[in-house]
């Protein structure tokens, strides 16, 4: 198994309107457990395509979609996995031996999704690279301006939280099928408030453009609360793992 030398983190933009994708120009990211070095060579290569913008330090600091993953990446990439970060006498080594590339994904249409997928595919194919895509799922409630509910689309006698789950799982099934066009059609039809819909769409196009055969499998799903009345609200969360069938077959 190859230890990644580079981790790409794709996240949506919550605070600024962005068309296309942008890369952080920082040289390092504070990840609580230690600083993570940014791969500036890859950043420059992406900028050289002419299809990436630059983010400012203020935009970087305001955006949580990428930032929240960095401590987990740091912990997972710890050079001595047997050490306990809570042990002051044996803190382990964090943030060494790998770099990160932070990509903020703004609004992208079908053609742009395919374009960015073709740009990122060679990086995905490299076994020394690892990709993290940040997203949650449905934000249901009047404060999110999202309150879809009926007794026809997903069945009768459903509680609202069951309807939300069914809607989310329809999208999850489409993602597992790696159906980029179907995912866009699903979003258009359901209006599901998935924050990372554009990073996910770019990932699907990256998988399509890459030469390897990949499997996408969701491992967990949860809701912050079970909505039973229209004055309630909730946020859904789902996590998936993408693996290369070719690499998995070679390793076995």
* Confidence (pTM): 0.87
pLDDT for 100 equals 87
| CA–CA distance, 51 with 41 (Å, rounded to integer) | 16
What are the pLDDT digits (tens) for 20-31?
Answer: 999 988 777 766
Give the tokens for residue 205.
Answer: 């196009």
| CA–CA distance, 23 with 55 (Å, rounded to integer) | 6
Beta-sheet pairing, 234-244 with 35-37: unpaired
Tell the residue number behind the tokens 């400012």, with chain if given.
56
Cα angle, residue 227 at apex, residues 225 and 229 outer, rounded to 5°: 145
Contact in structure between 22 and 53 (CB atoms under 8 Å): yes
| CA–CA distance, 94 with 44 (Å, rounded to integer) | 25
Closest C-alpha to 176, from 239, 89, 82, 107: 239
Beta bridge partners of 19: 107
Q: Torsion-angle region of residue 92: left (phi > 0), alpha (psi -120 to 50) or beta?
A: left
What are the pLDDT digits (tens) for 117-132?
Answer: 999 999 999 999 999 9
pLDDT for 67 equals 77
| CA–CA distance, 188 with 171 (Å, rounded to integer) | 12
pLDDT for 62 equals 65
- Note the helical H segments in 39-179: 40-48, 57-62, 64-67, 70-76, 110-125, 160-176
Residues with pLDDT less than 50, the chain: 88-92, 95, 248-252
Beta bridge partners of 21: 52, 105
Secondary element (H or E) of residue 58: helix 57-62
Contact in structure between 42 and 77 (CB atoms under 8 Å): no
| CA–CA distance, 96 with 83 (Å, rounded to integer) | 15
């Amino acid at each position: 198994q190859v230890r990644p030398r580079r981790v790409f983190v794709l996240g949506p933009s919550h605070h600024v309107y962005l068309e296309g994708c942008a890369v952080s120009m920082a040289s390092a990211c504070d990840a609580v457990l230690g600083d993570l070095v940014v791969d500036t060579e890859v950043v420059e290569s992406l900028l050289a395509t002419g299809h990436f913008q630059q983010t400012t330090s203020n935009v970087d600091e305001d955006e949580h979609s990428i930032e929240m993953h960095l401590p987990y990446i740091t912990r997972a990439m710890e050079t001595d996995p047997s050490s306990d970060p809570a042990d002051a006498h044996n803190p382990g080594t964090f943030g060494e031996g790998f770099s990160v590339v932070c990509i903020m994904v703004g609004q992208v249409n079908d053609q742009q999704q395919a374009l960015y997928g073709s740009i990122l595919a060679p990086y995905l194919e490299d076994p020394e690279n690892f990709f993290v895509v940040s997203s949650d799922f449905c934000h249901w409630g009047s404060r999110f301006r999202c309150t879809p509910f009926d007794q026809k689309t997903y069945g009768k006698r459903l509680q609202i939280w069951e309807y939300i789950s069914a809607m989310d799982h329809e999208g999850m099934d489409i993602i597992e099928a790696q159906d980029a066009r179907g995912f866009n059609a699903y979003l258009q039809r359901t209006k599901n408030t998935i924050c990372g819909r554009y990073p996910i769409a770019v990932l699907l196009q990256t998988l399509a453009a890459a030469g390897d055969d990949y499997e996408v499998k969701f491992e967990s799903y949860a809701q912050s609360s079970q909505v039973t009345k229209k004055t309630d609200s909730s946020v859904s969360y789902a996590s998936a793992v993408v693996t290369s069938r070719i690499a998995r077959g070679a390793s076995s």
